[in-house]
Structure 1
């Protein structure tokens, strides 16, 4: 009954008890009366996998029908990395942190969906060039001259040092010092574009892995609130990431004529001659990383609290919004270019278990599941009105055509969409506290 009362009290944010901060509101603090120097060293091994069904859009075949979507591919992505983070208390309740991910493996694969093979796949039996012209006049009727968008099955392999992270956090209130208040922190994380540039047009292998960097500055503003009440500590966190394109960021126009791989059409831009002209500079045609906003809330439960050993469970719900943008998505490795992606939501949760083995060392394991709502994977806008006549003129003024627009994949009835997309992440970490 005592635990039940504690849970009820937590949900209502009842009377305060002696407290320490939850993991989401942890801040290294120095120059305290009982602790002149505070520091955390976190080392974690993280494995993430994404599985997505890729659909192809088609126009309705009968009057009154809605647009049709047919399964073409299954995508699988695997990311295994070692994360090293250092958090230093630079003042009372003020923390400066540094982090570096080492991406050990970032591998992708594409295979046919059920019922699809080389004989009926629209990817293999493609009769169009990127500019919309036919590969052969008789191709739609006979298949003569068909040129695959890419070959299936297909794999890509990447890895290397990721982007460095720098952070500053401040615990505005600290329940450990004032039991009448919750622990409330605010922070700013800056992800610097230090990783080697990812070029999607470059072929990769297990011997020659591609790079993982996007050359984008990312600024993440966040705040978190927690309050310990007897055995439980409910918390809430929200964050917003603002991307800013950095120097040397990738543009598909950097590789206008990708060398073909096994008969793949070398031209993956619909209007490459427009690259760099007025209205289509690198800022316009290059990467446009998404904005990301999210919230998470949950509670830690102290399962065991002994002088030599402590054990707690953490259950949280997660919701994120990912805006539209042109970046590396589930089809970029196959089409070998950045793709304009629709916005989507991520919803899911996390279960974590933490064992504090001593005042110095604790270990943590977590599992996270996220479901990604359906969204477009190839959705470039066809162009923009440069002469002010109110429309995009594809024939009279072809300079208005977006050089990134690919008539094979971005035109209505030919677009690709992500469906049944799920992320599963496992993380094991060790923390040294000083």
Structure 2
């Protein structure tokens, strides 16, 4: 351990400075000689948005310059999602440089709306002119063409959700603390646990502004992280990495749970619950998330009573593939298998320390999300061991979640030009 500490100190420029930890490495500490008790109370208001253009695959008519097997992506919709919430957090020092924390978000409104892009209307959109049907009686396990248009969903469309979010519990330890030893950085190791306490989100339910449905995904989330910060003069650079492991909890959702709500919602609802297609297979498959954050805090004003800090950071995250609630779930009323993507962007923050007890922090963030598929269920799996997925000879091999209208190649939907924005203001009481 002494050798590891020496290496970290060398890499972080072990020069002596009197320091307090950056916001990203803040840890409540108690039972110290000069601080018998430490606690932080945070109350924040957060508003975030996601904007994305929804594209759809098409197979154009073959020409001399455009082969017919070359797929094109055609713009269909604009998606806008809004999330407004209150965040309440409590962090208590349970020993020197060890913190136990609790958090609870109150989601005031989580609204979504979908509208046509310019040039797209109900008369020429593939969404409203759709005639493909799932699992027709004349051909089990196969699609057919309806005699008249059967829209996938109505456009424009809005959804409304809200309520208590998932509770969070955290444990963090400052293995090194520059406040106690000026020759070393502040190095924090932590584990955050998000419990599935919010009521289950059922995407098949219709919502209204006066009848909001819950927001819970019923998934345990374990986030491991480590962060380093080092105060050098008026600057305090920092670095953080994190990884979130999701585990399905009690009462998680499966599209098969609501197969009778919308007859065309699943490709073959008869397969729900049979061998090979139990709830673990057809239910939510939450994404794993890993990310890196680096930046610096700059001390703009530092007086005995007042402090102003600027925070500049860059962020990048990887979101794995999975079946979960995405930009089209509210419209198609089910969880959708979503492709993996990267997020990258930045954040600017300003902290005003008004006294030894009270500080206020505001920040703005923007993330760009790389293009990714929104409807990508696999058609099925080999159940009889013959080496192929033969849904004609064995309809039981067809994935009940698979939808010929949206998951079949040349009919899939994609998210493009997707961006996340977030503004938040947090008041902190320090003891």
Deviations 1:245-298 (A, max 9, x none): 011100000011225xxxxxx320001000000000000000000000000000
The equivalent of 2:94 in structure 1 is 90
1:53 aligns with 2:65: no
Q: What is the CA distance between 1:114 and its match in structure 2?
A: 1.1
Q: Is the 8 A contact 2:255 2:283 kept in 1?
A: yes
Q: Is the 8 A contact 2:12 2:230 kept in 1?
A: no
Q: What is the CA distance between 1:19 and its match in structure 2?
A: 1.1
CA distance in 2, matches of 1:234, 1:337: 43
Q: What is the CA distance between 1:15 and its match in structure 2?
A: 2.7
Normalised to the residue count of structure 1, the TM-score between the two structures is 0.93
The equivalent of 2:8 in structure 1 is none
Q: Is the 8 A contact 1:128 1:134 kept in 2?
A: yes
The equivalent of 1:284 in structure 2 is 281
The equivalent of 1:203 in structure 2 is 206
Q: Is the 8 A contact 1:54 1:72 kept in 2?
A: yes
CA RMSD of aligned residues (A): 1.2
1:153 aligns with 2:169: no
The equivalent of 1:78 in structure 2 is 82
Q: Is the 8 A contact 2:14 2:185 kept in 1?
A: no
CA distance in 1, matches of 2:319, 2:387: 31
CA distance in 2, matches of 1:130, 1:427: 44
Q: Is the 8 A contact 1:16 1:228 kept in 2?
A: no
Deviations 1:172-224 (A, max 9, x none): 00011111110000000000000000000000001110110000000000000
Q: Is the 8 A contact 2:14 2:183 kept in 1?
A: no
CA distance in 1, matches of 2:12, 2:173: 26
1:133 aligns with 2:143: yes
Segments of 5+ residues of structure 2 without an aligned counterpart are: 1-10, 136-141
Q: What is the CA distance between 1:135 and its match in structure 2?
A: 4.6
CA distance in 2, matches of 1:191, 1:91: 23
CA distance in 2, matches of 1:378, 1:134: 20
Q: What is the CA distance between 1:115 and its match in structure 2?
A: 0.6
Q: Is the 8 A contact 1:158 1:210 kept in 2?
A: yes
CA distance in 1, matches of 2:20, 2:385: 62
Deviations 1:125-177 (A, max 9, x none): 000113353353xx4xxxxx111000000000000000000000000000111
Q: Is the 8 A contact 1:135 1:147 kept in 2?
A: no
1:404 aligns with 2:408: no
The equivalent of 2:173 in structure 1 is 170
Normalised to the residue count of structure 2, the TM-score between the two structures is 0.94
Segments of 5+ residues of structure 1 without an aligned counterpart are: 1-10, 140-144, 260-265
Q: Is the 8 A contact 1:258 1:267 kept in 2?
A: no
Question: What aligned pairs does 1:181-330 form with structure 2 within 5 A after superposition?
Answer: 181-259=184-262, 266-330=263-327
Q: What is the CA distance between 1:308 and its match in structure 2?
A: 1.3
CA distance in 2, matches of 1:430, 1:246: 33
Q: Is the 8 A contact 1:45 1:83 kept in 2?
A: yes
Q: What is the CA distance between 1:226 and its match in structure 2?
A: 0.3
Deviations 1:105-140 (A, max 9, x none): 00000000111000000000000113353353xx4x
SS for the counterpart of 1:273 is helix
Deviations 1:352-381 (A, max 9, x none): 000000000000000000000000000000
